[in-house]
Structure 1
């Protein structure tokens, strides 16, 4: 076999072997590497390049070495699951960098981080003032997790004591101009509804690159032609405006009528609509 052809064959073999071993290691290893995974990755890369180009090297021995080094993270992970002390030793523990708005200088020195590097990590979390931080910890993966002080956290519906419903994940119902029936069915909708919504927007499914339905049943589309302006859905604003008009009309009727019974009825219903508006406005407001 010519040398060039053997290099091609060896390359294909090792790409396949590395693909299989990477799939076995799982997605977590692709996102963040432990110390042993880092060591194994460097070594496997060296073995692969050496054997692919070094034609005198044994393929079998190289594959055996790759399997051994790929097995090390499995063994370390298994030991870590069985024993917390070994897990702390092998994988490390989180280091507190900020507590009650105060920087732990000794922790920074221990992890060899400068103040500038800490500020950079905070900015990545959209935090620009150290005093706003209640607690910040550097995880084993190298990520900084930050808990802001209560007065600096975003206000939630729960903080406002407003009722809310959990949202379902958006369903992609059109992709590359083709309707996806399964997601459409999961959203409790059908093709007839979809075509009606597309007609309201003035587009055809063939022009839609991506179409999604949110938990409120509202369709949004991204078109192939970015120059075409898609009108913003108006159902929610129209419904909100209609309810507000009804509530205002009832108040006017209550003021205009001379009948005490009618005045009470109009006022009561206006009050009910006002209560309803307070609950619906966060949902219907565009």
Structure 2
């Protein structure tokens, strides 16, 4: 397996294997790999001659220093999983110095308002950090196709917007959410949950599926009120937000329009661990 810790050697290697017809698939991650990550890689392996995976815990997208400090770092285990999946995967595992040249600062981006909703409201500066690292990685890897999970649907829309505004030649592909046996959306943060917390977190997807059923006959305000009341009864989980929004603009919806696509977004706190999820309502 090819592992690169510096961008210069990675760029040289990618140039050496690139042909006019070949394609590069790219899966950016922050490590602590789970089956959801591996599913993105499997899709890339099927659709491209070469697949690059990055593992980098990006400091500029964390507004909470405690969250950054506690984010799981399991590079040795991750390498084993990648090797087992396909030893031809190209791994880029850089340092902060290698990515940011000693200056880990975010660029400022205009995502046409996509950054001001949901996660953007609760995590100031988060999407500037996401835009900065994804743009930097795209410039280094120069992928043909890049794969992102739909659990972070807002991030997916923001990456697409960043690519369009910067005229980057990357095809951004959203992939279905991979779930645990109780339908909890797979996330590296799940590793910080106790067994009991992990089991009880099934409430998140149950709430989303119930909201989807109610969407056919109830107003968005009625559904949001029902969700809030449901979590008020739960002492373990705290609802940070529940929003029904237009998929394209991510603006909260007050009236339903049959020509638009809608999606429910939720963020929940348990023992100071944030869990997010989403579901299409159409």
TM-score bucket (shorter structure) = under 0.3
TM-score by length of 1: 0.17
- Larger relative helix fraction: 1
Of structures 1 and 2, the one with the larger relative CO (CA 8 A, separation 6+) is 2
